[in-house]
Amino acid sequence: MMDFFASSALLLVLLNPFLVIVYLVDAVEKLEKRDFSRVLIRAGLIASAVFCCFALLGDAVFSGIVHAEFASFQVFGGIIMLLIGVQFVFKGIKAIEILRGESEHIAGAIAMPVLIGPGTISASVVIGQRHDAPVAMFSVLTAVAISLAIMLMLKWVHDYVRRRNEPLVERYIEITGRITALFVGTIAVEMIMQGLRTWVEKF
């Protein structure tokens, strides 16, 4: 049971709803609660399907289809996350527009660059290695569901507080984005180191 909670917590930490809600600040501000909920749930379903596939197939996706080592993905994915973290630390909210860009299909835009990233894919593979298929899938779905619930709650808090103190909300978004970027950078370095250690052990 503890392994199950640890696996769900691993994916939940990497999904990081407190950072994602900052990343989606423009959608949070423009969309009504019902529209935002519908878009977010749709993105969550897309992300869950991808995570479950990686949890079930695991390293076979890389070795059998891509013909590459999972360690290579960890190193490259870690570099990408590190660049994202650096962008947030130095540019703050402005980095959001640079990293995400425009998309006509907002649910897909939220799922692919925001929820589905190198860190969360790596976590899904690890979860698949730790547990049997049903438990791994349930662990993934639990983490995604909790993440979505937290983001929906933050949307409600945002709308409630913004009507009363908009400068406070903007300040929170700026500070939270920069602080969580430090965490993202730390995870990125850890991913790179894990990938390098795996490669070194092969020689």
Mean pLDDT per 10-residue section of the chain, whose length is 203 residues: 84 83 77 87 92 85 71 82 77 56 58 76 87 92 94 86 70 72 80 85 75
pLDDT, tens only, 136-157: 999 999 999 999 999 999 888 8
pLDDT, position 126: 86
CB atoms within 10 A of CB 27: 17
SS3 of 136-189: the string is HHHHHHHHHHHHHHHHHHHHHHHHHHHCCCHHHHHHHHHHHHHHHHHHHHHHHH
The pLDDT value given to residue 201: 81
Give the pLDDT score at 93: 58
The reported pLDDT for the residue numbered 96 is: 56
Q: So what's the pLDDT on residue 98?
A: 47
10 Å CB burial of residue 99 (0-12, 13-18, 19+) is: middle
